[in-house]
Structure 1
């Protein structure tokens, strides 16, 4: 038996073993349907060309508490290269600013089919009257450039 046919036989054996393991896992430890749907929904939101804006400040973690203030809004700062997105999350919605100001569109992502467009003014400021419920992210489109923030819970 030559090396090539041995390698083909091993590849076939590996493929059969993998298929048997998949079938066993499907019977013994099936993926819950809700988790499968969540994974499909998350994949539907991906932007292959998008840059990820990293969370660089979160007032829940990084800010010092202010005495006497019981319900302070959550302040977030995201950064992707030279672009910064500052966001204030309140019970009434979102208030934010994109720096440096640019002509762009911004969307609040709250789930697989939910992308709420938000107007951006000439100074890069935006507001959304709908507070995010559950995980959310922001997607900024400026020409061909797409920036998506990390997902956070409101």
Structure 2
């Protein structure tokens, strides 16, 4: 008697074994769902073009140096400095904007950039974060980074 291989049955058995032996944590599953909800079809993505952790030359003896980041989306640039006192940045060319500091599925802070494009947030981001800028009719979202 020759048994025929059933790929669907094998897949189902492997799924059950994985669910028992190595389940996806509920928090991680919810974070993935919430991250998808953050997806904004109309938003442009601002790519990271400079990160002082990767691109800067270290200064000998310097301690607690703030992290400098630059994001670009077309003609728009966002410069960000992250330090122990929080986050500050500037939208260039200068323009007012509403800036959301995203921390996981929720907005960790919402601040307003002034007419010169400057903004500050009191607490530095903890863990993965991104910025979502609302400037005029545009929505721009930065890449996600770990603070």
> What TM-score do you get using the length of structure 2 for normalisation?
0.85
TM superposition shift of 1:143: 2.6
Correspondence for 1:23: 12
Structure 2: how far apart are the matches of 1:34 and 1:24? 24
**Residue of structure 1 aligned with 2:131, choices 116, 125, 138:** 138
Q: What pairs with 1:86-105 in structure 2 (closer than 5 Å)?
A: 86-105=79-98
Structure 2: how far apart are the matches of 1:66 and 1:153? 22
Structure with the larger strand share: 2
Give structure 1 regions of 4+ aligned residues with deviation exceeding 6 angstroms. none
| Aligned-partner SS, 1:69 | coil
- Contiguous gaps of at least 5 residues in structure 2: 1-6
**Residue of structure 2 aligned with 1:75, choices 68, 82, 87:** 68
1:147 corresponds to 2:134: no
Structure with the larger helix share: 1
Larger radius of gyration: 1
- Contiguous gaps of at least 5 residues in structure 1: 1-16
Paired residues of 2:97 and 2:114 also in contact (CA < 8 A): no
**Structure 1's 21 and 113: CA in aligned 2 closer, same or farther, altered over 3 A?**
farther
Q: What pairs with 1:100-111 in structure 2 (closer than 5 Å)?
A: 100-111=93-104
Structure 2: how far apart are the matches of 1:35 and 1:107? 22
Structure 1: how far apart are the matches of 2:10 and 2:33? 22
Number of equivalent positions = 138
Structure 2: how far apart are the matches of 1:62 and 1:145? 29
> What TM-score do you get using the length of structure 1 for normalisation?
0.82
